[in-house]
């Protein structure tokens, strides 16, 4: 439906008309305009200075009425005066009460009532027209199979695969929840004339994922016009977004930032996001990005671990570990890895107990202490005399995973652009591979140092049988004598 609407023109408006839409609905622009940046038209539209802007002035560059903020709260308000929207959200139950569920449903609903053939469904709002100005983002969920193969060996490949599976489950659940609503059955799900396909779900997901901002006082939301601004991190961020005393969304130039006429006004989508997430959610990488910043490597519990089924059952953390570039060094973070490296002989135990309703569940224990949350297992391990042993196991486990990831990248080599592979996916995949390989190599060096340091500790030496208590006594006597 959305693809057809873009092609036929009923779901597309030229960006030049955005200023008229904004003025008509109470949006105020002060010294800015929205459109393609000269010389960078391939990047789409952005926010541009219409005159020289001085950062010392406190007047907002944009003011967007609070009623236009596309948030869960506003969607619920609109549903009170729109019977069909209310029906949808009610049918979706818990999913319709989440921000993501409400926004995706609203976007799909607005696209539907824009269709010339749809009559007597929905109430038109200012946001019905706004979605016509939103561009189609080339996120990895829209890459071809050949383009996705360029990501083999990167952390983005598994992320896209998992996302596609998640989106398919969402779409099937959405269909099951709405197919008994009369107008939905007729317009969306009819076997011959149904308008909705999985492609439509991908498109509203891309609209939301690439434009949602964590707005102060509102939470996750899409904010018309402000969401046209591109991202720049650190000192390159030109403007900040927030809410004023009346709850309206405003865009303010950063203190000390001066923008020449024709210059781009950027915001930050989050400086702590890594290269993988930037491509995944926004479909771009900053030219200045010199590090992957954050990587998540998945881990499996070994098949020969006798406690594997029980560990999987009680696990409530992401199955892997995160690498973070901090202060020119790589740090790793994980709750899952500690569950993997401990065994029954260390003190980990599982018991089956009966629940109040007569069912059964597995409960984890660490040396007779109940472990209600496996993400807290590290707290117990840190107090154990073998803490350094557990650290060594974790480091060795992660070393193997990092080496395997590097080996995959080295085996595949550099991707080539051939056939129907588009320039942008090829360029992004190439850049991501370089950044992640660099970070993995740094991680390998750091883990090697951690491993060596742990092997030199007395706890490890004693655990490996390289020294015993008798040796320690002799050393102590000699020290006392001296």
Q: What is the C-alpha end-to-end distance of the chain, expressed in Å? A: 87
Domain boundary pick from 225, 253, 281:
253
Number of domains in the chain: 2
Q: Is residue 448 part of a domain?
A: yes
Q: Is residue 280 part of a domain?
A: no
Do 185 and 312 have their domain in common? no
DSSP 30: S
pTM (2 decimals)?
A: 0.89
Higher pLDDT, 95 or 288: 95
pLDDT in tens, 398-426: 999 999 999 999 998 887 888 889 999 99
Rounded to an integer, the average pLDDT of 455-461 is 94
What DSSP element (H or E) covers 165?
helix 155-178
Do 239 and 295 have their domain in common? no
Other Cβ atoms within 10 Å of 385 Cβ, number: 9
Do 104 and 221 have their domain in common? yes
Residue among 363, 360, 317, 323 at smallest CA distance from 340: 317
Do 195 and 322 have their domain in common? no
Backbone angles phi, psi at 240, to 5 degrees: -120, 150
Do 147 and 226 have their domain in common? yes
Do 246 and 321 have their domain in common? no
Do 299 and 410 have their domain in common? yes
Q: Which CATH number goes with the domain that contains 295? A: 3.90.1420
Do 95 and 146 have their domain in common? yes
Alpha helices in 212-355 (DSSP H): 275-282, 308-314, 336-341
Higher pLDDT, 57 or 281: 281
Q: Is residue 10 part of a domain?
A: yes
Q: Which two tokens stand for residue 410?
A: 């080295």
Cα–Cα dist 42/60, whole Å: 28
Do 426 and 314 have their domain in common? yes
Q: Is residue 266 part of a domain?
A: no
Q: Whole-number mean pLDDT of the chain?
A: 92
Q: Is residue 225 part of a domain?
A: yes
Do 197 and 77 have their domain in common? yes
Rounded to an integer, the average pLDDT of 141-165 is 96
pLDDT band at 479 (very low <50, low <70, confident <90, very high): very low
Q: Give 344's contacts (C-beta < 8 A, 6+ positions apart).
A: 306, 307
pLDDT of residue 357: 81
Other Cβ atoms within 10 Å of 90 Cβ, number: 13
pLDDT of residue 7: 95
- Say yes or no to pLDDT of 200 above 60: yes
pLDDT in tens, 342-362: 999 999 999 998 888 878 889
pLDDT in tens, 72-85: 999 999 999 999 99
The answer to whether 6 touches 14, Cβ cutoff 8 Å, is no
Choose from 46-50, 216-220, 413-417 the range with maximum mean pLDDT: 46-50
pLDDT of residue 482: 30
pLDDT in tens, 101-127: 999 999 999 999 999 999 999 999 999
Q: Is residue 80 part of a domain?
A: yes
Helices 198-211 and 275-282, packing angle to 10 deg: 130
Q: Is residue 382 part of a domain?
A: yes
Do 386 and 310 have their domain in common? yes
Cα–Cα dist 289/233, whole Å: 9
Range of the domain at 185: 2-253
Q: Is residue 278 part of a domain?
A: no
Q: Which CATH number goes with the domain that contains 18? A: 3.90.1410.10
β-bridge mates for residue 317, sequence order: none
Torsion 166-185-203-66 (CA) sign: negative
Do 237 and 325 have their domain in common? no
Residue among 51, 12, 228 at smallest CA distance from 131: 12
Return contacts of 206-209, CB within 8 angstroms, 24+ apart.
206/136, 206/137, 206/139, 206/141, 206/142, 207/107, 207/131, 207/134, 207/137, 208/100, 208/103, 208/104, 208/107, 209/139, 209/281
Other Cβ atoms within 10 Å of 455 Cβ, number: 14
SS3 content of the chain, % helix, strand, coil (to 5): 50, 15, 35
pLDDT band at 473 (very low <50, low <70, confident <90, very high): low
Backbone angles phi, psi at 43, to 5 degrees: -90, 0
The answer to whether 201 touches 1, Cβ cutoff 8 Å, is no
- Say yes or no to pLDDT of 468 above 90: no
Phi-psi region of 353 (alpha: psi -120 to 50; beta: other; left: phi over 0): beta
Rounded to an integer, the average pLDDT of 435-461 is 96
Cα–Cα dist 249/232, whole Å: 20
Q: What percent of the chain has pLDDT over 70?
A: 97
Higher pLDDT, 272 or 321: 321
């Amino acid at each position: 439906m959305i693809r057809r609407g873009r092609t036929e023109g009923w779901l597309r408006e030229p960006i030049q008309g955005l200023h008229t839409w904004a003025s008509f609905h109470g949006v105020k622009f002060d010294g800015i305009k929205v459109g393609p940046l000269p010389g960078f038209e391939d990047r789409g539209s952005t926010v541009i200075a219409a005159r020289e802007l001085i950062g010392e002035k406190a007047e907002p560059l944009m003011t967007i009425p609070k009623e236009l903020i596309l948030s869960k709260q506003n969607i619920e308000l609109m549903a009170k005066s729109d019977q069909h929207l209310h029906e949808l959200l009610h049918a979706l139950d818990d999913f319709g009460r989440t921000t993501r569920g409400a926004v995706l449903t609203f976007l799909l609903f607005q696209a539907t009532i824009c269709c010339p053939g749809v009559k007597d469904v929905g109430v038109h709002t200012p946001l019905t027209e706004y979605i016509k100005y939103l561009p189609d983002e080339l996120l990895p969920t829209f890459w071809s199979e050949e383009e996705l193969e360029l990501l083999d060996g990167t952390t983005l490949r598994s992320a896209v695969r998992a996302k596609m599976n998640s989106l398919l489950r969402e779409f099937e659940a959405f269909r099951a929840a709405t197919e008994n609503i009369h107008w939905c059955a007729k317009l969306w799900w009819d076997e011959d004339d149904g308008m909705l396909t999985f492609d439509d779900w991908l498109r509203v997901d891309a609209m939301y994922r690439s434009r949602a901002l964590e707005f102060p006082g509102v939470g996750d939301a899409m904010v018309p016009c402000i969401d046209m601004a591109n991202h720049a991190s650190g000192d390159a961020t030109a403007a900040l977004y927030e809410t004023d005393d009346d709850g309206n969304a405003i865009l303010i130039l950063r203190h000390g930032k001066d923008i020449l006429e024709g210059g781009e006004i950027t915001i930050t989508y989050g400086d702590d996001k890594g290269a993988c997430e930037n491509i995944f959610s926004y479909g771009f990488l900053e030219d200045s990005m010199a590090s992957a910043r954050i990587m998540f490597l998945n881990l499996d519990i070994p098949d020969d671990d006798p406690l594997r089924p029980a560990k999987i059952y009680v696990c409530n953390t992401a199955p892997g570990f995160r690498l973070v570039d901090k202060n020119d060094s790589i740090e790793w973070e994980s709750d899952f890895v500690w569950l993997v490296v401990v065994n029954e002989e260390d003190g980990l135990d599982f018991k089956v107990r009966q629940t109040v309703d007569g069912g059964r569940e597995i409960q984890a224990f660490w040396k007779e202490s109940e472990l209600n949350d496996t993400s807290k297992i590290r707290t117990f391990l840190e107090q154990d005399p073998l803490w350094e042993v557990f650290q060594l196991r974790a480091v060795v486990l992660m070393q193997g995973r990092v080496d395997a990831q590097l080996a995959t990248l080295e085996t595949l080599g550099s991707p080539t652009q051939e056939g129907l592979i588009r320039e942008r996916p090829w360029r992004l995949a190439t850049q991501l591979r370089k950044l992640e390989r660099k970070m993995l190599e740094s991680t390998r060096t750091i883990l090697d140092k951690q491993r060596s340091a742990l092997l030199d500790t007395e706890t490890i030496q004693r655990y490996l049988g390289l020294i015993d208590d008798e040796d320690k006594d002799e050393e102590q006597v000699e020290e006392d004598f001296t």
